[in-house]
Structure 1
Amino acid sequence: MSSGRDANGGHAGPLRHGPEQLVSPTAGTAPWDTWRRHEALQQPTYPDVDALGRVTSQLRGQPPLVFAGEVDDLRQWLGAASRGDAFVLTGGDCAETFAESTADHLRLKIQTLLQMSVVLTYGASLPVVKIGRIAGQYAKPRSSDMETRDGVTLPSYRGDAVNSFEFTPQARAPKPERLMETYHHAASTLNLIRAFTKGGYADLRLVHHWNRGFTSNPAYARYESLAEEIHRAVKFMEAAGADFDSLREVDLYSSHEALLLEYESAMTRIDSRTGLPYDTSGHFLWVGERTRDIDGAHIELLARVRNPIGVKLGPTTSVEQMLALMERLNPDGEEGRLTFITRMGADKIGDALPPLLAAAKADGRPVTWMTDPMHGNTITSSNGYKTRRFETIMDEVKGFFEAHDDVGTVPGGIHVELTGDDVTEVIGGSEKLDEDGLRHRYETLVDPRLNHQQSLEMAFQVAQYLSRSHG
């Protein structure tokens, strides 16, 4: 881990690693190809298997999207979060789309994450590790392989990495070429991220100015006192001669659900320094509730790469299942290697989470615990929209902190679906968005996201929880 820390909670700059080369074995010879002998759930059925082979062969020859040294840095930061020496903020779209991979959309997402991180850093008095659901979150699992409308049945939309949202046979047919499009969109997104986070856009004073604009809205007056405390802290730093030029850059890591195994396998490379495999499609990869079977192909692949790995745990997760995942993914107990992302539902977390925390604590191997308060709290509004209620989301966040406090374990971070745009997809919050308001800017193609204002409101509430737990 680097020794410097930036004002927004990351480290001041990446470690300066020696030259590294990441190379990919040819198809069928890689040590991680063992996943092909296991059941692979949630995979598209490609009509043209030969085309899939050609595309994955091309992907194996592409440059890596992230580098081994960056991945190692993040693993160390996640280890710090497991000890309570850092806090993790993960946020971004439920499913990225190719059409919204633009500079404006990306800038607003980064701005939202930076604003949240400043508030969380102050509340926790800890560095905040920033991870985007970004530059790879182009695929989503679905509850059914097929969708029927007006008597017509077509493949379900599985994200832009697989097919198109339009309900036509041509659009819904899975196309391997979209995997290559995914790679190119991810590469351009990562280039923009580096430009924004290293080019002064993350300057603490600028981010703080944005937050003061947020609390000037009367709807958020109850957060004004915390915002004023942060303002006084920034003014003190200026008066004390803080080197703000050194606080203009942050590190923003990329993450996504490692769902499409052909893509993840093709993007895995051997690091010439260590001879170990890294999945270079993103820094942090997770496996979902639908694909975390201990004997499944997803766990088999992720067990063989050096990236930090996340696993979503729902309310039916047993202690035995959790311990088996710990043994399979982190048998040696390496800090920062394994993150459990709980998505229990606000009404279930109080009963479901404490036994898991207690069992992991008794096991002794380090785990970074994060809460995903979104996926367990999805409802359908009376006017037919898939939505979530802000207050219920925050109830699950509160339950997450309370469970850790009761068991004596460390709440390591939050994992949320959000956008920097002023969409109307989640009801509630201080601006009291109601069901009728959903129709104004309901833009998601999959799951409802917190908008910019709701994301900041969450940050201020979580900061209060953090200030109490670290006070």
Structure 2
Amino acid sequence: MTVAPAPGVVEGLDAWRDLPAGQQPAWPDADSLARVTSRLEQLPPLVFAGESDALRAQLAAAGRGEAFLLQGGDCAETFGEATADNIRNKIKTILQMAVVLTYGASLPVVKMGRMAGQYAKPRSSDSETRDGVTLPAFRGDIINGYDFTPEARTPDPQRLLEAYHTSASTLNLIRAFTTGGFASLLRVHEWNRGFTANPAYSRYEEIAAEIDRAIRFMAACGADFDALRTVDLFSSHEGLLLDYERPLTRIDSRTGQPYDCSAHFVWIGERTRELGGAHVDYFSRLRNPIGIKLGPTSSGDDALALMDKLNPTAEEGRITFITRMGASKVRDLLPALVEKVAADGRPVTWVCDPMHGNGITSASGYKTRRFSDVMDEVTGFFEVHRALGTVPGGLHIELTGDDVTEVLGGSEEIDDEGLGRRYETLVDPRLNHQQSLELAFQVAELLRAS
């Protein structure tokens, strides 16, 4: 880690450099890395501190049951797929889901994309071997290339700059789409009506009809639909690559406090949440709202220790626990974790990631998931919180706005043979556009029953 501290940083901000940092690449050229990170320090922030503060307040509301978080996007963004069409389709999918969830929950939905920064991925092994050849593992476009060649797989610091510029253009388009009329409630509702017109999704026609009546009622009452033409869509990614997050940290001129300005919200993954590790130490010093992934090995004591380190002042909206237990384990393992945290009394927001605990390999060799398992974990998440009297605060979904075939099942019944039609992900399988909307309608039913 060779980045020099920026002038005027808060004391201790670089203490993480002396701690073990998991999942970091072996950069071959320290001088090149230093030049790139120095340039990143000089570039404008991608987001602003005030926006992160607004998100923290909304996440606090979700933790109290006064809002609901929908966080969705790619498992791993790629530079090549950062096109206007792909970005528009992801935004469209998130907006469609949010309208359905808003109606189901009768609550505001906090909309957050796994977008404009989700370029780094943790890996279970540092290397990959094919036909007797061993090369570094693919760690995402921000680090190296997917092609299995020595040139592509060598970590390249220049990719950090490409990640910054691709994120900037993505955020620019997100802001244009969400403020220029594309996100209008009337337009999004028409999209959903088109979805339920498909006979495969006829079971959701009743909810869609109820939403339609509600909108017509609003219109009859003189609702200002112009005020519903814009939405806030916050950016988020796993704060994995510290050589990217650190240079994009800025000191807020209002408060003198550090914010990671690469995204509004960053999370610490299951593989990097070691209490004495670099990631936890670094993010403990930032003012952004922070997510923490908790898998099936997480204990209540682990959660409390992370709260001690990351939120010593017990601030609402600061900590979001994103649980990823797996459908077969969520009802057995989640209750003890939630009970321990609830008994402590400090505020957290609970969110369900039903994707990462449900990975399988299909008979034909594809890395995939079953839609039924994804939905079952969400159902179990709601059941546990309902039984304990705690708040199910949101969903964290890997999705795309395109008609890929990466997840088995759903009403269109993608089978093993069908996976090969449009299996496009480089890392983890994603719900396609239709499966994402189907999940939203089913979660709306759960919210209405809560």
TM-score, length of structure 1 as denominator length: 0.94
1:275 and 2:224 equivalent?
A: no
Q: Which runs of 4+ in 1 moved over 3 A?
A: 26-31
Work out the CA distance in 2 between the residues paired with 1:97 and 1:91: 16
1:323 and 2:316 equivalent?
A: no
Change (3 A) 1:176 1:28: farther
Q: Deviations over 1:417-466 (max 9, x none)?
A: 00000000000011111000000000000000000000000000001111
Q: Is the 8 A contact 1:122 1:463 kept in 2?
A: yes
Work out the CA distance in 1 between the residues paired with 2:36 and 2:338: 42
Q: Is the 8 A contact 2:9 2:251 kept in 1?
A: no
Structure 1 residue 29 displacement after superposition? 8.1
Q: Deviations over 1:195-244 (max 9, x none)?
A: 00000000001000000000001111111101100011111111111111
| Equivalent residue number for residue 33 of structure 1 | 14
Q: Is the 8 A contact 2:358 2:369 kept in 1?
A: yes
Structure 2 counterpart SS, 1:193: helix
Q: Is the 8 A contact 2:143 2:159 kept in 1?
A: yes
Structure 2 counterpart SS, 1:184: helix
Work out the CA distance in 1 between the residues paired with 2:299 and 2:214: 45
Structure 1 residue 28 displacement after superposition? 9.0
Work out the CA distance in 2 between the residues paired with 1:456 and 1:316: 31
Change (3 A) 1:70 1:28: closer
Change (3 A) 1:363 1:28: closer
Structure 2 counterpart SS, 1:241: coil
Structure 1 residue 25 displacement after superposition? 2.1
Q: Is the 8 A contact 1:27 1:57 kept in 2?
A: no
Amino acid paired to 2:274: D
Q: Deviations over 1:73-102 (max 9, x none)?
A: 000000000000000000000000000011
Aligned to 2:208, which of 206, 222, 227?
A: 227
1:53 and 2:40 equivalent?
A: no
1:299 and 2:276 equivalent?
A: no
| Equivalent residue number for residue 148 of structure 1 | 129
| Equivalent residue number for residue 362 of structure 1 | 343
1:434 and 2:444 equivalent?
A: no
| Equivalent residue number for residue 377 of structure 2 | 396
Work out the CA distance in 2 between the residues paired with 1:31 and 1:59: 20
| Equivalent residue number for residue 12 of structure 1 | none
Unaligned runs of 5+ in 1: 1-23
1:245 and 2:237 equivalent?
A: no
Change (3 A) 1:169 1:81: same
Q: Is the 8 A contact 1:32 1:265 kept in 2?
A: no
Unaligned runs of 5+ in 2: none
Amino acid paired to 2:385: H
| Equivalent residue number for residue 345 of structure 1 | 326
Change (3 A) 1:289 1:27: farther
Structure 2 counterpart SS, 1:148: strand
Work out the CA distance in 1 between the residues paired with 2:58 and 2:186: 24
Q: Is the 8 A contact 2:272 2:279 kept in 1?
A: yes
Q: Deviations over 1:94-137 (max 9, x none)?
A: 00000001110000000000000000000000000000000000
| Equivalent residue number for residue 173 of structure 1 | 154
Q: Deviations over 1:227-272 (max 9, x none)?
A: 1000111111111111111110000000000000011011111001
Structure 1 residue 31 displacement after superposition? 3.3
TM-score, length of structure 2 as denominator length: 0.98
Within a 5 Å distance, the mapping from 1:82-231 to structure 2 comes to: 82-231=63-212
Amino acid paired to 2:141: D
| Equivalent residue number for residue 316 of structure 2 | 335
Structure 2 counterpart SS, 1:312: strand
Work out the CA distance in 2 between the residues paired with 1:37 and 1:406: 43
Q: Deviations over 1:373-417 (max 9, x none)?
A: 000000000000000000010000000000001111000000000
Structure 1 counterpart SS, 2:256: coil
Structure 1 residue 319 displacement after superposition? 1.3
Structure 2 counterpart SS, 1:426: coil
Structure 2 counterpart SS, 1:45: coil
Work out the CA distance in 2 between the residues paired with 1:29 and 1:53: 21
Q: Percent identity?
A: 68
Change (3 A) 1:262 1:27: farther
Work out the CA distance in 2 between the residues paired with 1:291 and 1:244: 44
Q: Is the 8 A contact 2:367 2:429 kept in 1?
A: yes
Corresponding pairs, count? 446
Work out the CA distance in 1 between the residues paired with 2:123 and 2:323: 19
Structure 1 residue 55 displacement after superposition? 0.5
Amino acid paired to 2:139: R
Work out the CA distance in 2 between the residues paired with 1:326 and 1:28: 24
Aligned to 1:379, which of 322, 347, 360?
A: 360
Q: Is the 8 A contact 2:10 2:257 kept in 1?
A: no
| Equivalent residue number for residue 412 of structure 1 | 393
| Equivalent residue number for residue 468 of structure 1 | 449
Work out the CA distance in 2 between the residues paired with 1:50 and 1:167: 26
Structure 2 counterpart SS, 1:350: helix
Work out the CA distance in 1 between the residues paired with 2:211 and 2:232: 21
| Equivalent residue number for residue 245 of structure 2 | 264
Change (3 A) 1:284 1:28: closer
Q: Is the 8 A contact 1:346 1:376 kept in 2?
A: yes
Amino acid paired to 2:305: A
Q: Is the 8 A contact 1:308 1:338 kept in 2?
A: yes
